[in-house]
């Protein structure tokens, strides 16, 4: 009898093992099928949003290589526990194929542009699994989160982040519920390095503004960070400026020029420096809430944006003090 029981247990264990070892079938954002034999354990992320999605899913210890903005990001460094990962390059400087291969990854996250396609094709030909991801909208950002979660077995965490983003969006929608279309503020988005570079409706920043309930005056201008002239900017008559922050004073110097004197008097919403709220990221909905609360303070007078955003960071990243708004003494 004991031998029979042992045999049954062995059969059940074998069955469980075969289920857990079932291949993971993925379709990336270019429609490519990617098959992993098991959840990814060694991941290379080649650009900043992919870094952020990975970290939000608790994959810091599985990242073996990283690209994009890493050296100047206290947020990313803290999430990595100050581990010094191999830097594989960036979208602007290029990505090192040799460095990636040497890291022996079982999954590489690649940005969906021409160079990214070539990199993915080359790595795939070498037997290295690649996911091409190109989050340009809030919906696509959620798709990236779900895709990466499936590849790494972190679906529960992805669901928690999705629930938090929905919670923030509901706060925004509730606050804007009594606002008519005619009451929406005309807003001009200012690139961190140039007053005359703005966001078109093809860019993620436009979505950020739309969810926050402000009307992007430059939505019909084509291109990526399109260049506009003084005449056009003044003709739009924006009522509010939404600015990316960095350590440069160029935009302040441009606003001080006599040609744009009317603009310097406008309310300005400064997105916190290095918040990653101005790009497709797990925390971008926090940026939309921040814009909405500051654009329409009367509609959100009952909302404690700092506390709501801190709660998001606690759920997504395990530390409310990572919020760029956090001012509690314990976070100082």
Q: What is the pTM of this model?
A: 0.90
pLDDT tier at 246 (50, 70, 90 boundaries)? confident
10-134 is a CATH 3.40.50.300 domain: no
Pick the more confident residue, 95 or 276. Answer: 276
Pick the more confident residue, 72 or 225. Answer: 225
Range(s) within the chain of domains with CATH label 3.40.50.1980: 10-134, 161-331
Among 114-118, 184-188, 216-220, 270-274, the least confident range: 114-118
Report whether pLDDT(219) > 80. Answer: yes
Among 92-96, 168-172, 199-203, the least confident range: 92-96
pLDDT tier at 86 (50, 70, 90 boundaries)? confident
User: For the residues 302-306, what does the mean pLDDT come to?
Assistant: 96
> 161-331, superfamily in CATH?
Nitrogenase molybdenum iron protein domain (3.40.50.1980)
- String of b and e for 132-143 (b: at least 16 CB within 10 Å)? bbbbeebebbbb
Integer Cα distance of 278 and 315 in angstroms: 20
Q: Which residues, including other chains, have CB under 8 Å from residue 314's CB and lie 6 or more apart?
A: 320
Concatenating the DSSP letter of every residue in 114-174 gives HHHHHHHHHHHHTT--EEEE---SHHHHHHHHHHHHHHHT-HHHHHHHHHHHHHHHHHHHH
pLDDT tier at 114 (50, 70, 90 boundaries)? confident
**2-29: per-residue pLDDT in tens?**
555 445 545 455 554 444 568 999 999 9
């Amino acid at each position: 009898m004991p031998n029979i029981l042992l045999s049954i247990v062995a059969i059940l264990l074998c069955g469980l093992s075969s289920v857990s070892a079932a291949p993971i079938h993925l379709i990336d954002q270019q429609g490519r099928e990617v098959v992993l034999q098991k959840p990814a354990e060694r991941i290379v992320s080649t650009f900043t949003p992919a870094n952020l999605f990975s970290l939000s899913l608790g994959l810091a210890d599985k990242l073996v290589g990283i690209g994009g903005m890493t050296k100047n990001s206290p947020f990313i460094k803290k999430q990595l526990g100050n581990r010094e990962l191999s830097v594989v390059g960036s979208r602007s400087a290029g990505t090192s194929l040799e460095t990636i291969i040497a890291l022996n990854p079982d999954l590489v996250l690649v940005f969906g542009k021409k160079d990214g396609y070539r990199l993915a094709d080359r790595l795939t030909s070498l037997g290295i699994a690649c996911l091409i991801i190109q989050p340009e909208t809030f919906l696509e950002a959620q798709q990236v989160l779900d895709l990466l979660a499936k590849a790494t077995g972190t679906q529960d965490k992805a669901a928690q982040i999705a629930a938090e983003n929905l919670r923030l969006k509901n706060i925004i929608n509730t606050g804007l519920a009594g606002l008519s279309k005619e009451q929406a503020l005309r807003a001009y988005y200012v690139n961190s390095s140039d007053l005359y570079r703005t966001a078109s409706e093809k860019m993620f920043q436009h979505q950020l503004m739309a969810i926050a309930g402000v009307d992007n005056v430059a939505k019909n201008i084509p291109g990526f960070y399109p260049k506009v002239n003084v005449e056009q900017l003044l003709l739009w008559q924006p009522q509010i400026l939404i600015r990316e922050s960095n350590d440069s004073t160029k935009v302040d110097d441009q606003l001080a020029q006599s040609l744009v004197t009317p603009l310097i008097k406008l309310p300005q919403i400064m997105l916190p420096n290095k918040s990653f709220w101005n790009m497709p990221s797990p925390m971008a909905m926090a940026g939309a809430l921040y814009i909405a609360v500051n654009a329409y303070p009367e509609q959100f007078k009952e909302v404690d944006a700092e506390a709501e955003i801190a709660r998001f960071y606690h759920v997504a990243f395990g530390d409310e003090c990572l919020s760029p708004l956090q001012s509690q003494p314990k976070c100082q």
